[in-house]
Amino acid sequence: MHTMPAMIYLHGFRSSPMTEKGQIFRRIFPGITLGTYDTLHPDIGYRQLDRLVQDVLVQRPILIGSSLGGFWACQLAKQYALSCVLLNPCMSPERTLAPYVGEVENLYTGERGVMTQNDLHAYEKYRLTGEPAHCVVLHEKGDELIPWQESADNFEGRAKLVLIEGGSHRFEHVDIAIDEIRKLVAAAMP
């Protein structure tokens, strides 16, 4: 009996593991870790996520990230040569999150915090070169916050890039993501 590889889901900015996607992933993949991290302060967020990954590194976890979680999943997958699945990834947080500088409220927890321009500048030091072991990028063309062209520019020829008609930033085609995750899991099983 082979054990499934560890899986970690990283939510997006102003979000939480309690999103519908997070709960669907938990139902389909009961062993998945729904990561929680500081989305306002990259230095704190990185330390939290790095610890989460290091705790299961021996199991070669598959990282799944949505929006800002996609940025982190990609960078950590590069750092540790892991596989990742990115859903409508935010690969330029310093630009995409710029309108939110100031007081920010988490849409799920109601927690408030302040994100500064310095926080945005901090993302640059976490942008790594190299490639993840395997990278699947799913971007819905209907994403109103992050244009799908950003994923095309970042990942064309470097990852399995699937551009999906319709959808929104919430990422509505979770069934496609589940299929891609299952393929990575199957490939990781001895």
For the chain, 190 residues long, give each residue's pLDDT as a single digit of tens: 456 789 999 999 999 888 899 999 999 999 999 999 999 999 999 999 999 999 999 999 999 999 999 999 999 999 999 999 999 999 999 999 999 999 999 988 899 999 999 999 999 999 998 899 999 999 999 999 999 999 999 999 999 999 999 999 999 999 999 999 999 999 888 7
* Tally of residues, the chain: 190
pTM: 0.96
Residue 84 backbone class (left: φ over 0; alpha: ψ -120 to 50; beta: rest) = beta
Residue 81 backbone class (left: φ over 0; alpha: ψ -120 to 50; beta: rest) = left
Provide the 3-class DSSP secondary structure of residue 115: strand
Domain 7-188 has CATH 3.10.180.10: no
* Residue 50 confidence (pLDDT): 98
* Residue 189 confidence (pLDDT): 80
* Residue 2 confidence (pLDDT): 53
Q: For residue 139, give the H/E element and its range.
A: strand 134-140
- The domain segmentation of the chain, as residue ranges, is 7-188
> In sequence order, what are the residues at sequence separation of 6 or more whose Cβ sits closer than 8 angstroms to the Cβ of residue 106?
14, 15, 16, 39, 112, 113
Provide the 3-class DSSP secondary structure of residue 63: strand
